[in-house]
Chain A
Amino acid sequence: MPDLLEISGLQVEVEGKRILDGVDLRVPTGEVHALMGPNGAGKTSLGYAVMGHPKYLVVGGEILWKGESVLGIPPEQRARKGLFLSLQYPTAIPGVTTANFLRSALKGLGKELPAREFLKEVREQLSLLKMDQAFLSRYINDNFSGGEKKRMEIVQLAVLRPEMAILDETDSGLDVDALRTVAEGVNRVRESGMGVLIITHYQRILEYITPDRVHVMAAGRVIASGGAEMVRDIERTGYDPLLRAAGIEEVEAAGAVSG
């Protein structure tokens, strides 16, 4: 059986600038992988490239979803195949209510629910994520606090039920209780066998959602992979040893790839 997600030799450019330079990463079905690495390593860019953001131009390599290439396929079709990306900075859309947004998303995914069931489902997920029901009629992410935006991403994850979720720093900016709430939210959806790629800077969320594998990115590629124990090493020593082993200067790691 092919992996759920298989990225190989991925090269990505933004406005002519090389951002990813040969990323290799595989997430088998049902597994949880963590993706770590210094600021500017290219983690967010990888998520965007997998989801098909038009600004992130794939100039080399391959992204396979269940063994089939998704390159050249628009984001909505990747979503329909089962991919979900929780954004590091979720976008606000003034004037579009959370309810309307989610209804449109379900419709697009071909998972439309009758009005009553839909409301029941969203209300339930809101309360599970400890969010007020008033968020239903608020404009999506508009004037939400940082933590509210992150929780709303997980509400969406729970309502849309993808086969794989890429969570880009969903734990950043959450207070301790919210972090647990969010992690529990992710774990509930995982029960159905969802694959997860958690992009994070912190050990904490990985205590709730234990990764099968950990990958470290720097300078636009994956420089190290290992078991869950890697997280503690990184916490203790930082990225320096890994960077040095990969022959990457610290300065370079924090910037885009040159050339």
Chain B
Amino acid sequence: MAELRTEAAAFTRDSAVPAELEGGETKAVSHLRQQALAAYREMPWPSSTRDEDWRRTPQVDKLDPASYLPATPGGWLQEMARPGAMGAATSVGPSAVAPAARELGEALRSEPERWAPLLGSLAAPGLRKLVALNTARFQEGELVHVGRGEQLQEPVRIRHGVGDLEAAFPRTLVVLEEGASATILEEWLSPESARGLLVPVTEVVVGRGAKLTHLVSQRLGTDAVLQSTLRARLMEGASYQLSFALLGGLWGKSYLEVDLAGEGCEFRSAGLCVGQRSQHFDLQSLQDHLARGAVSDLLYRAAVADRSRSVFAGLIRVEEGAQKTNAYVQNRNLLLSPTAKADSNPTLEILANDVRCTHGTAAGRIDEEQLFYCQSRGVTREEARRLVVEGFFADVVDSFPEGGLREEARGWVLAALDQLARSGALSAHPS
């Protein structure tokens, strides 16, 4: 019976996009939507048996976006950046009061010729089925634009979420012009046990010599499904620091793709994942070196407990002509139960000859000697396990944006570990 229903569901996926566009949007935007509608209908639904990307995430075979309700607007907070929102810091100068983030729809209506061409320039509708879906359906979204030479003092906060039985397709466009600098916190949330589908697409352009610090925090409730795409493009001398924490949800796939398009640009990323219950996290990253002398470094640490699973595929591609590239990708996994799983597949694809690239992967369990050492000093075994897991994430957390955000992020990780401890996942197993 269940099988039958699944089969039937597969045939409704087309209705996830409208048959026709509603009017009221500018020409440029409706053109993009049109493309997205077509792309969505043309592309086959991802398949765990046919698509390498999805081989270890068969959940996708049963996912049907048409089976979710459209998100109620305003159901989720969409916080605009406000100077002082983070407390403490006081800043002067025009940059601090400039509206750093604005509603994307409004920006597209008031300055279509300026923003519409950027939309989809990195994550084109044809990139993937779910990007097409987001492009066809996004209503809510943000534009973060930081003008030439502007230095944003306060972090910009973007918050996306989804409610029960809903599907939401938030879209974010981040543009830092030459020499600008900013810090962005992007949060993905949903109410506890809400069965929603969140499909965020974020496009990021870091202009010449600009510096962006970006922290993505996925703290979805227990039953939400995530399909995210983050694509960034770095210009000459740009610097992009991306930190991420994947902590919630039922299952999800996240694409994280960066074009190192300008000479000497730099991408540094560190992220972590805490898996529990039967959570399933699939992360696929791409460090695409298109220009000379760029640096990229990605470190991903996942700790998986219970029957949870982490799947990681990280590709470093060095295009012809991208000489003097320095690129690293590393995935470390900590298995906290005999039934947890971690798949790791970092790969290199190098078409230039004068480069330094390395990839590494390791999976292990908590070291018994470390536990004994803690215990011999009075720490309970459970607390010792927690301490070791916390230590496992230390270098990632320490690389998060300095200041209040880092402490906030540390708090999320500790909360996830508390949850692990409460559920007994840290004490259930002898080692």
The distance from the CB of A137 to the nearest CB of chain B, in whole angstroms, is: 10
Known contacts: A53-B372, A55-B368, A108-B383. The answer to whether A95 contacts B393 by CB under 8 A is: yes
The segment from A10-18, A79-87, A172-180, A197-205 found at the interface with B is: A79-87
Q: Are A74 and B381 in contact (CB under 8 A)?
A: yes
The segment from B53-61, B323-331, B384-392 found at the interface with A is: B384-392
Tell whether B370 is near chain A: CB-to-CB under 8 Å: yes
Task: Name the interface residues of B352-401: CB closer than 8 Å to any CB of A.
Answer: 367-370, 372-381, 383-384, 387-388, 390-395
Give every chain B residue within 8 A of A75 (Cβ-Cβ): 372, 375-376
Q: Are A101 and B387 in contact (CB under 8 A)?
A: yes
Tell whether A96 is near chain B: CB-to-CB under 8 Å: yes
Tell whether A51 is near chain B: CB-to-CB under 8 Å: yes
Q: Are B368 and A93 in contact (CB under 8 A)?
A: no
Of A55, A90, A95, A109, which is within 8 A of B378 by CB? A109
Of B368, B378, B387, B393, which is within 8 A of A79 by CB? B378
Q: Are B391 and A94 in contact (CB under 8 A)?
A: yes
Q: Are B374 and A101 in contact (CB under 8 A)?
A: yes
Mark each residue of chain A from 238 to 258: 1 if its CB lies under 8 Å from any CB of chain B, else 0: 000000000000000000000
Residue of B nearest to A94 (CB): B391
Q: Are A108 and B379 in contact (CB under 8 A)?
A: yes
Tell whether A67 is near chain B: CB-to-CB under 8 Å: no
Of A80, A84, A95, A104, which is within 8 A of B374 by CB? A104
Q: Are A108 and B377 in contact (CB under 8 A)?
A: yes
Count of chain A residues with a beta carbon within 8 Å of a chain B beta carbon: 31
The distance from the CB of A80 to the nearest CB of chain B, in whole angstroms, is: 6
| Alpha-carbon distance A53/B367, docked complex (angstroms) | 13
Give every chain A residue within 8 A of B383 (Cβ-Cβ): 104, 107-108
Give every chain A residue within 8 A of B384 (Cβ-Cβ): 76
Residue of A nearest to B373 (CB): A91
Q: Are B378 and A91 in contact (CB under 8 A)?
A: no
| Alpha-carbon distance A101/B387, docked complex (angstroms) | 8
Tell whether A54 is near chain B: CB-to-CB under 8 Å: yes
Of B367, B378, B395, which is within 8 A of A160 by CB? B378
Give every chain B residue within 8 A of A105 (Cβ-Cβ): 374, 377-379
Tell whether A29 is near chain B: CB-to-CB under 8 Å: no
Q: Are A160 and B377 in contact (CB under 8 A)?
A: yes
| Alpha-carbon distance A213/B195, docked complex (angstroms) | 70
Interface centre among A53, A55, A106, A139, by most chain B C-beta atoms within 10 angstroms, is: A53
Q: Are A76 and B391 in contact (CB under 8 A)?
A: no
Q: Are A76 and B394 in contact (CB under 8 A)?
A: no
Of A74, A79, A95, which is within 8 A of B395 by CB? A95
Residue of A nearest to B391 (CB): A95
Task: Name the interface residues of A106-120: CB closer than 8 Å to any CB of B.
Answer: 106-109
Give every chain B residue within 8 A of A109 (Cβ-Cβ): 377-378
Known contacts: A54-B368, A74-B381, A76-B381. The answer to whether A93 contacts B376 by CB under 8 A is: no
Interface residues, chain A, CB within 8 Å of chain B?
Answer: 51-55, 74-76, 78-80, 84-85, 87, 90-91, 93-96, 100-101, 104-109, 139, 156, 160
The 4 nearest A-B residue pairs measured at CB: A95-B391, A95-B394, A108-B378, A109-B378
15 A-B contacts (beta carbon < 8 Å): A76-B384, A79-B378, A80-B378, A90-B373, A93-B373, A95-B390, A96-B391, A100-B387, A104-B374, A105-B377, A107-B378, A108-B377, A108-B378, A108-B383, A160-B377
